[in-house]
Structure 1
Amino acid sequence: MSDQAGPIQEMLAANVKRGRTLQGLSISELSRRSGIGKATLSQLESGNCNPTIETIFSLSRALEIPVSELLDTRPPGDLTVVRAADVEPLVGEGVDLRSLRHIRSAHTDLDVYDQQFRAGHRQLSQGHTGTEHTVVQSGRLEVTVDGYEVELGPGDYVGFDASLPHSYLAPDGPVRSVLLLLQDRAGRQPRSAPHSAAL
């Protein structure tokens, strides 16, 4: 726990409380839906808890809103430059995730992330809203989606329904990749690549 809230803690505190209030949920009910303890949620809403990737995706799933609505969104412009060193990473069991850009269209939200996987640590997700598209830039990455496993190398792509249980593992060494997370604003899953092609 940090003595002073950082940018991610402050953004998450405000956005979780806003999302919970708009849906008329008590902290107890959000705790039940997300599997996160009430004390932890209270600390999150006061900006006194360091969120993990797992926590943020659990909140996204429980509140049924994109991850980007829990984190800072940058205003659109003609030119956007994001320096990796300037973005505070979300730290998970096996990955550091940096949010680079949120793009909103009439029907779809698109979030762009830089992912850096640590060797030998599996990053698990029970599922969340949206469709994931991942392109490996360097290293070897094992991806398991609903029990089906594929191995990706540099330049390889995988796409899948993110509501399915999934995990990532860098078995040999660090892996860097780009994650595109699509969320249909009407509540439907955007179409990804055909399952046979993606996996």
Structure 2
Amino acid sequence: MVARNVRLLREQRGLSLAELARRAGLAKQTLSNLEQGTGNPTVDTLFSIATALGVPVTRLVAEREQVITVQRGDEVVWRQHAGYESRSLDHIYGSGVIENYVVRISLSSGGPREPSEPHPVGTLEHLFVISGRVRVGPADSPLELGEGDFARYPGDRPHVYESLVDESLVHIVVSVPRVQPGTGATNTTRTDGNAKR
């Protein structure tokens, strides 16, 4: 898990093993062993690598397969405040590019659409169904959601947006991890308004 996460984050930033080792103040062989899964990093080593990559240390130890979260609209708890109620959908840690979309999805008469292209490594999509019923999320394990439901899932793999009724309206927040300036990483996000198809 740590080995895979370090390698993916390093490659996303366009860094060589030698350059990341230099930035983290580590021997290149130490980093190489860690990425091959044969190293046993200390907490200090993990913090040094995380700092060099510009991410929280939790990004190095998080299991990506556990990232899918579903919150059903009829099971949520509304918190009472002075004059209003609130419902927490999700929390986004760290910094980077945050894209907000309201997306109208129509029922496709030609069958399922082609999956959308993956976003950069580490991207998450946070989707709330305003109205309708949809099939969304990873192409290999899509989720069926209805009005008031919320889901968070990886956006860095092929994913789908399909309406199961005539028309559905969803709110999508795409969180793209921060890329350190000067790391050589490019194309971190689409900002041309065509990210959703």
- What is the TM-score when the length of structure 2 is the normalising length? 0.38
Q: Determine which structure has greater relative contact order: mean sequence separation of CA pairs < 8 Å that are 6+ residues apart, divided by chain length.
A: 2
Of structures 1 and 2, the larger Rg is shown by 2
